[in-house]
Amino acid sequence: MALRRVLSLWFPRLAVERVLRARRDVMPGPFAVVGMRDQAQVLISLNPQAEAAGLRLGQPLRDATAICAHLLTAAEHAPGDRAFLAALRRWAGKFSPWVAEEPPDALVIDLTGCAHLFGGEEGVLAQMAEDCADLGLTVRAAVADTRGAAWALARYSGAVAQTDRNGDAIQQEARATRSRAVTRRAGAAALPLTGPLGVIAPPGTMRQALAGLPLPALRLRPKVVTSLGHLGLRRVEDIAGLPRAALARRFGADTLTRLDQAFGQVSEPVSPARAPLHFAVRISFPEPIGLVEDVAAGIDRLLPVLCAKLKAKGRGVRLLRIEAQRADGTADWADIGLARATYEADRLRPLIAMKIAGFDAGFGFDRLRLEALETELVHQIQHRGHLDAAAAAMARVKDGPRFDDLVAKLGTRLGQEAVVRLHPADSHIPEKTFSVLTAAWSAPASGEWPEPRAPRPVVIFRPEPVQAPDDRSPPARFRWRRRDFALRVAVGPERLLPEWWWDDPNWRSGPRDYWRIEAESGDRLWLFYAHGGEASGGWFCQGLFA
């Protein structure tokens, strides 16, 4: 079995270089990416010109602008950085199929059995350095036997252990560590691992390669690093030979885990990201086509292939894109949304036919393409017994055509957001007893619609003022919408109040007493008397009964 080799790629200026690639500045000056950290704007990524100007990572923006008045900045965009790192992961797949991301600015690659394809590990680093130079990226690379060692060498190779203590460090160290500090000063130097393209640790030399690195190279918690520093332990070799039981008891078992991962005593595999599911098919024609029938015939050849791919993965398409490319290089396309995911060609074909009828062939189409932009898991229907099957058949007969297909057809013609359904809502306010949901992205309401405690009008609208005496009793005569009404029957009142936790501007006129009014003209109105509050009260009309 081949010895495992791991490559770590660290992009220390990923955020700022991503922004500069998009800006395409010919001669950029000092530039920094600014992010919010602990309610303060600080520098999180710098280009070389900004570092040459004396700026540093983590520095507050106000201090940085005082040092470098002509500093240019851009706001942090974490989603853009993640997408850029994902693109670099796909690029790194040329070196090995085992590539994983180490957010926010690094990749890890398992090179086992792959380096010889590039002429060895030196060839891999040379190809990597050339590609990153073409991309305008700064990269630090290291190859080692373990993931932890490669991570440490990529970031801390050549670094010197620092301390925040003043005075002679030896005099301040604990008595038990003084002899170790003297031995460390007189010990042998670390192996020369650094090359012009990166760091390569020879196989089997992880202890020697990591001995002189500072403790943060082991990915320890900052609190643990500080505590070890107070004891005079600042380098990896300082803790590598300590009693393991005492070290774990005082600084936690994760300290030993990180140490063992770096030395290869605990496995730390590289788990590559799964390739995203992609369902698309296309067909090219020797001669351009322009008739709708010809386009439909091409779709009939593509659709079974696409549905077979979806079915093999147990997926159903929820959003389908049809793209027809013309002979002159232009294209026409349309998206189809479905109320329920499916891989059945018979359900997709009528929806596609509605869209391709509006395509403009121009000089003719020479290529058709279908792509499932959004897919969902589709569960097969389990076979049932005779009684269940009979009940399902009766339900299908009762319901008529498949409602999902109807919603999909209406959504294709009118737009998915235009087809809605109502769900009951928990409120005693009449205009709030329902919620409007998009039919394609919601399920029918379960159970019966709750009955109101009093009859409700067929039509409800915003309250409209009624000219009537300011009296709580129903008016014998009133005027509404330029018409005079005479009271025949009044039923009520029904007092309604809004939720106490909800400040609704429409209810600032105070409590309402609702009345069902029947006028001598035959009109049946829904009137209420507002008792007044932040807004003036009076009589209003809000609905019409049948």
Q: What is the DSSP string of 230-248?
A: HTT--BHHHHHTS-HHHHH
Q: Where are the beta strands (DSSP E) in 6-51?
A: 6-10, 31-37, 40-46
User: Is pLDDT above 50 for 187?
Assistant: no
Q: What is the pLDDT of residue 423?
A: 80
Local structure of 372: helix, strand or coil: strand
- Mean pLDDT lowest among 2-16, 311-325, 326-340, 499-513: 499-513
Is residue 405 a contact partner of residue 439, using CB atoms and an 8 Å limit? no
Q: What is the pLDDT of residue 273?
A: 80
User: Is pLDDT above 60 for 177?
Assistant: no
Q: What is the 3-state secondary structure (H, E, C) of 124-158?
A: HHHHHHHHHHHHCCCCEEEEECCHHHHHHHHHHCC
User: Is pLDDT above 90 for 34?
Assistant: yes
Using only the alpha carbons of the chain, give its radius of gyration.
36
Closest of 427, 425, 433 to residue 543, by C-alpha: 433
**Distance in angstroms (rounded) separating the CA atoms of residues 68 and 276:** 44
Q: What is the pLDDT of residue 386?
A: 60
pLDDT digits (tens, 9 = 90+) for 101-111: 999 999 999 99
Q: Tell me, what amino acid is at 421?
A: R
At residue 229 the predicted structure's pLDDT band, cuts being 50, 70 and 90, is very high
**Quick one: average pLDDT of 156-161?**
73
User: Is pLDDT above 60 for 176?
Assistant: no
User: Is pLDDT above 70 for 161?
Assistant: no
User: Is pLDDT above 80 for 417?
Assistant: no
pLDDT digits (tens, 9 = 90+) for 375-389: 988 876 555 556 666
**Distance in angstroms (rounded) separating the CA atoms of residues 368 and 528:** 61
Q: How many CA atoms lie within 13 A of 60 on its CB side?
A: 6
User: Is pLDDT above 50 for 329?
Assistant: yes
**Quick one: average pLDDT of 414-425?**
80
Q: What is the pLDDT of residue 68?
A: 93
User: Is pLDDT above 60 for 180?
Assistant: no
Sign of CA dihedral 57, 62, 64, 65: positive
Q: Tell me, what amino acid is at 400?
A: G
Q: What percent of the chain has pLDDT over 90?
A: 54
Sign of CA dihedral 118, 119, 125, 130: negative
Is residue 353 a contact partner of residue 297, using CB atoms and an 8 Å limit? no
User: Is pLDDT above 90 for 429?
Assistant: no
User: Is pLDDT above 80 for 192?
Assistant: no
Query: Which tokens is 116 given?
Result: 């010889």
pLDDT digits (tens, 9 = 90+) for 200-219: 999 988 999 999 999 999 99
Local structure of 333: helix, strand or coil: strand
Q: Higher confidence at residue 347 or residue 387?
A: 347
At residue 196 the predicted structure's pLDDT band, cuts being 50, 70 and 90, is low
pLDDT digits (tens, 9 = 90+) for 434-444: 788 887 777 77
- Mean pLDDT lowest among 37-41, 115-119, 217-221, 339-343: 339-343
Q: Where are the beta strands (DSSP E) in 27-75?
A: 31-37, 40-46, 72-75
Phi, psi of 50 (to 5 degrees): -70, -40
**Distance in angstroms (rounded) separating the CA atoms of residues 347 and 339:** 11
Query: Which tokens is 529 given?
Result: 């008397």
Element (H, E) at 223: helix 222-230
Q: What is the pLDDT of residue 186?
A: 38
Residue with tokens 């919601």: 442
48-53 — which CB contacts under 8 Å span 24+ positions? 48/13, 50/16
pLDDT digits (tens, 9 = 90+) for 497-534: 877 777 777 778 888 899 999 999 989 999 999 888 77
**Quick one: average pLDDT of 48-56?**
93
Q: CB-based contacts of 345: which residues, under 8 Å, 6+ apart?
A: 303, 304, 307
pLDDT digits (tens, 9 = 90+) for 459-481: 888 889 999 988 888 999 999 99
User: Is pLDDT above 50 for 88?
Assistant: yes
At residue 181 the predicted structure's pLDDT band, cuts being 50, 70 and 90, is very low
Q: How far is CA 374 from CA 250, 305, 340, 377, in A?
A: 51, 17, 11, 11
User: β-strands 434-438, 524-530: how paired?
Assistant: unpaired
Query: Which tokens is 52 given?
Result: 């040459």
User: Is pLDDT above 90 for 60?
Assistant: yes
Q: What is the pLDDT of residue 324?
A: 92
**Quick one: average pLDDT of 217-235?**
93
**Distance in angstroms (rounded) separating the CA atoms of residues 532 and 509:** 4
Residue with tokens 């974490």: 78
